[in-house]
Structure 1
Amino acid sequence: MLTRIDLRDQDPTPRELLSIVPRADVDVADALTVVEPIIADVRERGADALREYGERFDGVAPEHLRVPQRYLDRALEDLDPAIREGLEEAIDRVRRFHEATVPPPVRVELAPGAVVSQRWIPVARVGLYVPGGLAVYPSSVVMNVVAAQAAGVPSVAVTSPPQRSHGGYPHPTILAACALLGVTEVYAAGGAQAIGMLAYGVDGLCDPVDVVTGPGNVFVAAAKRAVNGVVGIDSEAGPTEIAVIADATATARFVAADLLSQAEHDPMAGSVLITDSEELADEVDRELAALVDATKHLARTKEALSGRQSAIILTKDIDQSVAVADAYGAEHLEIHTDDAVGVAGRIRSAGAIFVGEHSPVPLGDYLAGSNHVLPTGGTARFASGLNVTSFLKAVSQIEYDAAALAAVGEKVVALADAEDLPAHGEAIRARLEAAQE
C-alpha cells in the first residue's frame, strides 16, 4: 500500500532530500483567489455575508452568529461524563505545561546606570479557529484556549463552522469544551469568512483580534495568509502528517497503528516510515494491510496511505534516517529505535518529537500536555508549534541615566555619522551638552 523510496545506495545532498521526501499537493496560492473576495465581502457586509456563506458552504445559516450562552451551558450539562473527564484531564495537563513555559522577564545592567530589560506582554485579544469538517475537535479548543490563557490574554473568541445537524451552531462537544474553559464568546462561522470576521471585526457582532490561531483546511490556511500582517497568525496549517524513524528493534504493530492513526484524519494526510531495516518495512506493510481492512474510515484512510504524500523510505543507517527526517520536517515525528532518546536529541526539524514506543502521537493529540497545533508541510524546518509565545510580544525597555549616556555618547555619534544620519548624533549631543552646563 505504501510506496517505497530506496536511498540505501544513494547519498543525496540536503537540497536533493527536500525534493525526494513525499509531500501532499496543497496550493495555498490558488486558494487565495477564492478567499480574498470572501474576506472583502465580510469586511463590506458583515453579518449578512457571514450568514450567506454559512448557508452556501455549511448548508445552514444560524439564527444567532454569536452562540447564546444558554447553548454553551446546555452543551456542558449534556456532555458525556467520560468525555468531560477526559477533557478536564487534558485541560489540567496542557495548562500545567504551558504555564511552566511562560518565559520570565530579563533585566541586564550593562554598565552602572545602563539597564536594558525585556518583558513578555500578552496581546489584548485573540481569535481561535476550531475546524469542523470530517471530525469533531474539542481537543483543538483545549490546545488553543489554554495556551492563550496561560499567556495571560484577557479576551478570547472562538469560532467554528455551523453544523446543519445541530441547529446551525458548532458541535455540542465544541461548545462544551468552550464552557469548561470559561469561554463565553463563541461564533458559528467557519472558513475564510470566519478568519475575515476575526481579523477585521464585524460591527455590532465581533471586535477585531490581534492574533488568529488554529488549524483548518486549505481555504482557512489561505485566509490566514491573506490577513497576515493585519493580524498575527500561528501558521498556515496543511494536511496532518506523521513520520516514524524506526530500526530493527521497533514493534511493527505499533508503527503500523501509528501510521494509520494519522491517515484516518484526511485523504491528504501523510504517513511516512523512515527505516534502515527492510525486514521491519515488510512487517509494517503486512500489519498495516490488516489494520486498514478493519478501520472505520476505510475510504479516506486508503486514499491517504496510497497517495504521493505517504511512503516507506529505506535508508542505509540511522544517520541517513535522521537526515531524511530533518529534510521532511514532520508535524509529528516518532522515534522507535534502540536509543530513542539519543536519536531524538539529534533531530533539528520536527513539530513535536515522540520518544519511544509508549509515546504515540495520539497521546500528544489529547493528554500528553504538549500542544497539538503544529507546523506542517516541512515548515517545521523553521517554525514552531503553537505555544504561549504565540500570544506574547517580547518588548525591550531601555533605561540609561545621564552618566551612562555620557559614557557611550560619542560612540553613538560616530556610528550615526558613519550612517549619514547627523540628526541622530545631534539628539545625543544635545544631552551631552546639557549635562555640561
Structure 2
Amino acid sequence: MVQKSGVHAVADALRKDAVGGFLLIAAAIIALIWANSPASGLYESIRDFEIGPEALHLNLSIGLWAADGLLALFFFIIGAELKQEFVHGELRNPRRAMLPIVAALGGMVVPALVYVALNIHRPDALPGWGIPMATDIAFALAILAVVGRNLPTALRTFLLTLAIVDDLGAIMVIAIFYSDKLDFLYLLGAIALLGVFAYLQRGRGFARTLNRSSFPMLVIYIPLAFLIWMFMHESGVHATIAGVAMGLLMRTSIHKGESESPLHRAEHALRPWSAAIALPVFALMSAGVVFSGMGSMITDTVALGIIGGLVVGKFIGIVGGAWLTTKFTRAELNPSLKWIDISGMSLLAGIGFTVSLLISELAFPAGTTLEHAKGGVLLASFLATMISAAILVRRNAHYRRQSEPSVTEEPVGKS
C-alpha cells in the first residue's frame, strides 16, 4: 500500500466538511475578537486596503475581494455539488426537490414580514426589510458539519438546496430593490460567456476535439472563469452568482477516454483551496463586526426585527412552508429525515451573515441604525447557532446510536 505524502494527506483532510468548518469558525472568532480589541484599527486598515487594476474597475478592498472573489470559489463548489444532486442524487426526484425550494421561499417571505411588522411605525427603518431574508450558506454548512457528522446526508442536501435558492432570491432582491446601477450590458456579456462555458463542457464538435487534444484546457477555462466573474461583478449582480452558475453548468457525464467527469475533477482539486483559503479569509474579513452599544441595540426595533426575522421567521417560514407543501402537493420528505431534523436545520438557516450584512449597508447610511442592524445580524446568527446546535447535537447522538451495531449477550450454556 502506497503511503500518501504530507501534502496529499492535508488535502484529503481539507476535503472533509468538519475540518473546513472548524477553520471557518476559528477565523470568524479571531475576526470578532480582533475587531473589538485595541488593535481594531489595524483590522479595519487591512480589511479596507484597496488593491487591484483600476483600468478594469477592480480596485477593490481586501474585504470585497474576499466576499466577492474568494467566496465565488466556494459557491462554484456548492453549485457543482448541487448539480450532482440534481442529476444523480437526492434531487433527481421532483417531489423531493420541490420541498427545499418551497421551504426557501417561505424562509425568505416570513422573515421579511416579521421585520416589517415590528417596524411598520418607522418609515426610516422599513428599508431594512430584506436583511433577515438571507441564509449564510458557508457558516450554516460549517456548523452542520461540526455538530452533525452522523446526521443523514439528505439533511445536508436539503440545507444546501434551500440556502442556494435563498441566496439567489436575496441577490435578486438586492438587484431589484437595493441597486440603482444594474448594468444590463455587462450582465448580457456574463450570460454569453456562460454560454461559451456550457458549450465547452458539453464537449461536442469543436469542443470535443479540443478536449481530446493535448492542449491544456486550463489555459482556456481560467481566463474564461475570470471574465465571467468580472462581467458579473461589473453588472451590479453579486459576483458569487458567477461561481454558482459555472458549478451548475459543469458536466457530470464521463466521455470516452475519461476516468471521471469534469465536475468531479474540478471539485476534487478546488475543495481544499476553498476550505483552507477562501472560506477562512472570507470569515476573517467579514466577521469583524464591532459589538458596541448593546443596551440601546436590543431596544431598537431594527435589531429586534432582524433577530425576530432570522431566528423566528426563518423557523416558521421553512418548517411551515415544507409541511404545507407535503400536505397540499405530491412533494415528500426524505424517509431518512424526521420533522425534528428539519426544525433544527431551519433554525440553522437563521445564520444570516454575509448577504445580510451587505443588505444592511445598502439599506442604511453609516450611523447608529446601521450599527444596530449589523449587531442584530450578529446576535441573531449566534442565537440561531446555539438553538439549532442544541437540537442537532441530540439528533446526531440519536443517529449515531442507530448506526452502532447492537450487542447481544451470548446465551449461557448449560454445564
When the two structures are superposed, what TM-score results if normalisation uses the length of structure 2? 0.25
When the two structures are superposed, what TM-score results if normalisation uses the length of structure 1? 0.24
Give 1 or 2: higher helix fraction: 2
Instruction: Decide which structure has the larger Cα Rg and report it.
Output: 1
Give 1 or 2: higher strand fraction: 1
Larger relative CO (CA 8 A, sep 6+): 1 or 2? 2
